[in-house]
Structure 1
Amino acid sequence: MTDRPHDFDTTTLTDRPPDLPDTDADRQGADMVDLDAARTERLPYGTMPPADDPQDGPPVFDTSYEVELDDPPDNDTATGPGPMPVDPPRPAVLESPEGDKRRPIIPPGLRRGSLASTVRTTAGKWAYVVGFHAARSPWYTLQALWWAVVGLFRLAGRQLRWWWVNEQYTLAQQAANDNDPAMWLKLHREGKATRRWRGIALFFQAIALAVAVIIAFQADLAAYWWALIGAALVPVLARYGRPAGRQIIPTAVVSRRYRLLNSDVVLRAYYAAGLGHPDRANQQVQFGSRMSRDAAGTGSEVLIDLPYGKTFDDAVKARGAIASGLDVTEQQVYLTRDQTSNRRHMLFVADRDPLAIPAGRTPLLDGKPRNIWQPAPFGLDERGRKVTLLLLWISILVGAQPRKGKTFAARSLALYAAMDPYVKLTVVDGKDSPDWRKFSLIAHRIIFGTMPNRDGDPVEMLLDALREIKAHIQQVNQFLSTLPVTECPDGKLTEELSRKYENLRVWVLVMEEFQVYYELDDQETNKEIASLLSFIMAVGPSAGVIILSSSQKPGGVGAGDVQRLFNRYRDNHAVRFALKCGNRNVSDAILGGDAYSEGFDASSLPIGKAYRGVGYLYGAADDTPTVRTYLADAADAEKILATARALRERAGTLTGYAAGQTMAREVRDVLADALTVYEGSETGLPWTFLASRLAERIPEHYADVTADTISAQLRALAVPSVDVKRDGKALKGAKKAAVAAAIKRRENTTG
């Protein structure tokens, strides 16, 4: 049998012509008869050979072959007990084997879309290196001159030692110790002769050097020639003169140190975790690939083949023990299931704890409108890859202990929905906190707490809001059924329809700490709220209603029908995001019972301020990433929501509660806004900096502002344009004191 990869199909064993032999004897006979035909080039299944092909018998079919994955027993004869080896046919078109991974021709960092970022990163790094060394260049020059002088004396001393044949002393001393006068005399004579001719060589070297110096001075060389000579000689002499192990020019960027994995370390870890045994038959851990760095350069990875009988689930349960064997933290070890075998998985070991590295500010701060039909940016996973989440057609449950980032995570998704002006939002905050107050700028309905307030009774308002959403769901389904097939071919809501018809808008229902509305004093009210939420959960996603729920108490709520409806509402969320939980039971209530068996326990997530916003995103895709969510604090949320309101006003889509609210700042105050962008001890800013900061921090008013625009507006308000020093350059700009003085003059005038 030919020893080559199985690059033919081994799965469709039933897809063959009915006249192929079925029994072993028939197959052997067919193989013996058609041996020559089997070695010829095969044609696609069911294709007749060309007319000029001298081939007798039935047409040759390209069919499936059953091939044993394990080596067959040795058979010397065709009549042995094992299967008869048969060469598979050579395919007509050479195809890459399934699963063959090829390195990209163009690296990912140089592709369109990534090239600009790569250039910026590389240019920024080298700009930093140049600036670092430029600031220290005088000190480098002084050190180089000093060590060049030292190097000159060292070089002269080395020449003198060479002339005096110092290396002979050891041999002469050895001859004296051995009482060998003949050898001593021989060494002495040879030493005198060597000193003689080496002395002559040094004499002529000194004469040549002196002549070169005299000629150089007599020629009256220009200053730049002396600079070139010094630039050539000083570095050489300084390198020779500096102490061993000391650098004159240190490195500007220190490379991170990380533990380099090797096969011995990995095997030690797996054997220590009880996933195999090195000395028992068929219990050895093997490797399915070479140890290598990952594409992002953040860690090492390798394919692991567990012993027969061990599964991926066993490795997941032993993840902590594997981390101990590797001498790293558990947050640095990640296992990914391989699709080819249940005993194979990819081991990734990060150089440093990736969960302690924050994901950064939310990209929504750029003020650009978003589209709810596109995935929302959520954060970064453990490998530094962007994690996005398509909000449509799903319901999302966020759960965690208090102050672990639960509200921030839920609010970041709601902010994304707010930046689409064609999305309605109903915000219900059961804990009556300030976290959701600013959503009043864009929310169709907004409800806080359970106690009556100046806006009314929150419980009655919630019932009205849920009834409204239920009626909307019913109306959407009825309306879609009346549309012609040409406009709605599948009977489903589409982006075009949601933009065209106002009654088909996507609707987001936010339920913060929803469990409080299952524990009201009035049981009938509890039942009605529970029934409405269960209906919206079951039918709403297909009608474009997105449910975003969060809770720190996802279990033990209510009794009887209320408890049953609560559990059904909680368990029917399609996507779960669990941050740090108090215990495994709470984690199971958020993620579901199957998550723990797959190795995901939110109570095992690390504790500490650095790990806020870290959690498991379960059910959004085939894998379950550990996500570090983007940060949007209260100030960021206010900026985003102010921009979202401006977008809705422009599109004419403000409804309900937000439509009755007035914006706190409908007219921009250029002077006051400009004063707010000066940071710390800054006394002045160039016009370009002023424009960029205003566009970044107040995008609803200054998204398109330029340096010339802001300069003209402030100069019109008596703020002079003066020279402002920035990064060693004098640029035109405005002084902070001048802006403050203009504000004071205006107040005195209006007062």
Structure 2
Amino acid sequence: MTAVADWTPPPEVDAHDPMIREVELGQAVTVDAEQVEVEAYRQGGPIDADRSKEPRYAVITGLAEQDRAPIIPAWMRNRSQRWRVPLATAGFALYVLAFHLLRLPKYMVLGAAYAPRGGWRLGAALLSWLWVTEQLPLRLRAVQRLDTETWIKLHKEVHGSRKRHAWIVAGGLVAVVVVLALGWRVGGAAALWLSVLAALAGAARAGAPVDRPLIDRVTTSSRFTRLTAEAVRLALVQLAIPGLREPAALTFPPPGIHRDGPGWLARVNLPGGVTAVKVLERREELSSALRLPMDQIWPAVGPAHAGQLDLWVGNKPASQMGNPRWSVLNGKPLSFFEPAPFAFTPRTDPAQTVLFQRNFLLGGQPGSGKSFAARGLATIALLDPLCEVQVAEFKGVGDFLDLEPLCSRYVVGTDDQAFDDGADMVRWLFGEVGRRGAVIKAMREQGRAPEGKVTPELAAIKGLGLHPLVVVLDEIHELLAERPEVADMLTRIIKRGRALAVVLVLATQIPDAKTIPSGLTKSVSSRWCFSVLEQVANDQILGTGSYKRGQTGTVYRPVVDAGWGYAKGFTAEDGPVRSPWLTPEQWAAVTAVASALRGGRRVGADDGPVAGEVFRRDLIEDALAVVGQANGSHWLGLVEGLAALDAESYGDLDPESVGAMLRALGVETGDVKVSGVTRKGVKRRALEAARERRAVTAGAR
């Protein structure tokens, strides 16, 4: 230990630093010398290090560590926008060309009518400029006041101006004659006629009335064309957010304001202490400040920090934007376990979600597009050949009737029979979740499901009853009002079914706590709020506080904005999206593809879980018993041997299912040579190796 008074600063410490001098003068404290040195640096050292003595190369190369603006624009780096932007520009240019070509005869007639008046106006203006007629009142006033000196001065000035103007006019006329002569020599009469037409067009434009222009406007309404820094700064300052008063305090980091899809994106750094959420809470005021509809401006928190705002403004309101082509119309199969497009963002980019481990709540007013959105999610499930789909709709109008041939169970109606069938469906589903839970538990104990979840490989095993299951309950509030006892079962299904490949899609008009228990809605991970009237209904769908964070469906109108809503928990980024809006012909094409993928059968209707007893047996040991002392077995021989060993457990399995089950247990499969014939199958040493690994793992536990 060293007394403070005896301590001397190290060489690298400034001995004249006031904090160090205070230590030197002595305090009645005895501390460790190293601690005093650290505290001296901590209390009295400079905040910013002095870099003046650093090697020059360190300063120069430090520039390489800074963020640089991208060489290629953002829209060119985006795969979906790379062609969309130039195609949209070319399409608009062709539209303008066709628009004016069709009206060319009208322009010619109006031009012939307005050209004489325009020529007179242009000639009068030229003569007025040549003769400097605007000075005439000044000279007349000088004459009236008998101000000879002023008159002489004005006369000299106007005489000089007229001379200069005359030379300019003469030079212009000579230039026109030379150009016409050159045009005649190069292009002949065509060039001369083009010059005449250009002159007539100019004269016609000059002679056209102010309120009746010569050329019609392509757009008939005001159209937002560009987002500017001045407009953004003014609008944000007008929000009157504490700490946001000076426009100069708002900066635009790279890439600043730029084109982003069918609109503009402004990335703004707000003043210190001001968060982007404050702007989101004042979205209505922002709409007023920018003088744009609310569904045309989409503020969001920027990627860098909480004080960065991403303000995207569309070329036109989202409710007026067309719906792009849904990629499922390509006819390709989808997967329950992989991302699939379910909607479109305001930028018309596809928004993707994964059905596995999610449940969905869709809410909004009548006519807001809930049923179409639920159909979209059901369609994704139908395009997975392994996925079973069940539908119960309690509107009673058959919104899902065209999907009925593909559903293992379909309920429609508003009578007691429909409600009884719906309640029976929920009870069956509750029991199915329990059965699947027991299966997964047994598989986990045997090392077949390490995470206790259904995997794509396990779902593909035919007869195990672990295939994906999607249940759509449209107008769920009607069922809960008539059969309230099913609410608790639905809540438990939602909580337990995520890992068991069981998904619920709930659609409702009335998301209040009296109709749908809060425990049920809070258990749903993915929510989609369509058109709602007020904040309470919005927060009942999306969660408390969502409206204040700018997550709202109150900006949409039923029917007019049908399909638009705010999606939360579907993807990594929450935001407004629009569900696909297909024609009846397109729906028919999609269902035809789904039917072809499923071989025309209803998945789940005749796929009862025949493997319930399989888990009482050890598949590896049974396979070794079938193989015996041989090198291995082909799949067909192994299936026949297992069926002979236990027909009740293995009788309905096919070679593909047995192979998938063995691979799930860690058994390597491949080509096997048996009796001189090489085919796909399993080798005995692979089965023995898997058995040994399982024994080691069990011993370690």
TM-score range, shorter chain: 0.5 to 0.7
Give 1:231 shift.
Answer: 0.7
For the structure 1 residues 28 and 539, does the alpha-carbon distance in structure 2 shift closer, same or farther, using more than 3 Å as the test?
farther
Question: Is 1:304–1:347's contact at 8 Å kept on the other side of the alignment?
Answer: no
Residue matched to 2:391? 427
Matches within 5 A, 1:235-314: 235-240=198-203, 242-243=205-206, 248-250=214-216, 252=218, 256-257=223-224, 266=233, 270=237, 273=240, 275-276=242-243, 286-289=249-252, 292=257, 295-296=260-261, 298-299=263-264, 301=266, 303=268, 305-306=270-271, 308=273, 311-314=275-278
Matches within 5 A, 1:225-624: 225-240=188-203, 242-243=205-206, 248-250=214-216, 252=218, 256-257=223-224, 266=233, 270=237, 273=240, 275-276=242-243, 286-289=249-252, 292=257, 295-296=260-261, 298-299=263-264, 301=266, 303=268, 305-306=270-271, 308=273, 311-338=275-302, 342-348=306-312, 352-355=316-319, 357=321, 359=323, 362-449=326-413, 451=415, 457=421, 459-468=423-432, 470-475=434-439, 478-479=442-443, 493-495=454-456, 498-499=459-460, 501=462, 503=464, 504-520=466-482, 526=485, 529-530=486-487, 532-556=489-513, 567-581=518-532, 584-593=535-544, 595-596=546-547, 598-600=549-551, 602=553, 604-621=554-571, 623-624=573-574
Alpha-carbon distance between aligned partners in 2 of 1:230 and 1:407, rounded to the nearest angstrom: 63
Give 1:122 shift.
Answer: 3.5
Give 1:454 shift.
Answer: 11
Residue matched to 2:98? 131
Give 1:414 shift.
Answer: 0.9
Name the SS for the 2:389 alignment partner.
strand
Give 1:31 shift.
Answer: 4.8
What is the identity, as a one-letter code, of the residue corresponding to 1:509? V
Name the SS for the 2:560 alignment partner.
helix
Matches within 5 A, 1:133-172: 133-144=100-111
Q: Deviations over 1:351-398 (max 9, x none)?
A: 654345464675544544333333332333345543222222211111
Give 1:253 shift.
Answer: 5.3
Alpha-carbon distance between aligned partners in 2 of 1:321 and 1:210, rounded to the nearest angstrom: 60
Alpha-carbon distance between aligned partners in 2 of 1:159 and 1:581, rounded to the nearest angstrom: 64
Q: Deviations over 1:261-284 (max 9, x none)?
A: 665885676566453485xxxx99
Identity %: 23
Give 1:538 shift.
Answer: 2.5
Alpha-carbon distance between aligned partners in 1 of 2:317 and 2:65, rounded to the nearest angstrom: 36
Give 1:474 shift.
Answer: 3.8
Residue matched to 1:645? 595
Name the SS for the 1:609 alignment partner.
coil
Residue matched to 1:725? none
Give 1:506 shift.
Answer: 2.1
Structure 2 residue corresponding to 1:102, chosen from 62, 69, 73: 69
What is the identity, as a one-letter code, of the residue corresponding to 1:543? L
Alpha-carbon distance between aligned partners in 1 of 2:160 and 2:68, rounded to the nearest angstrom: 69
Q: TM-score, length-normalised on structure 2?
A: 0.64
Question: Is 2:114–2:204's contact at 8 Å kept on the other side of the alignment?
Answer: yes
Uncovered stretches (5+) of structure 1, i.e. residues with no partner: 1-22, 34-65, 67-76, 660-751
For the structure 1 residues 450 and 368, does the alpha-carbon distance in structure 2 shift closer, same or farther, using more than 3 Å as the test?
same
Question: Is 1:451–1:457's contact at 8 Å kept on the other side of the alignment?
Answer: no
Alpha-carbon distance between aligned partners in 2 of 1:431 and 1:207, rounded to the nearest angstrom: 83
Uncovered stretches (5+) of structure 2, i.e. residues with no partner: 15-37, 609-701
What is the identity, as a one-letter code, of the residue corresponding to 1:591? L
CA RMSD of aligned residues (A): 5.3
Name the SS for the 1:645 alignment partner.
helix
Give 1:625 shift.
Answer: 0.7
Question: Is 1:275–1:306's contact at 8 Å kept on the other side of the alignment?
Answer: no
Alpha-carbon distance between aligned partners in 2 of 1:307 and 1:197, rounded to the nearest angstrom: 60
Question: Is 2:301–2:308's contact at 8 Å kept on the other side of the alignment?
Answer: yes
Give 1:624 shift.
Answer: 2.8
Name the SS for the 1:611 alignment partner.
coil
How many correspondences in the alignment? 567
Q: TM-score, length-normalised on structure 1?
A: 0.60
Alpha-carbon distance between aligned partners in 1 of 2:233 and 2:299, rounded to the nearest angstrom: 13
Give 1:125 shift.
Answer: 2.3
Residue matched to 1:749? none
Question: Is 2:370–2:507's contact at 8 Å kept on the other side of the alignment?
Answer: yes
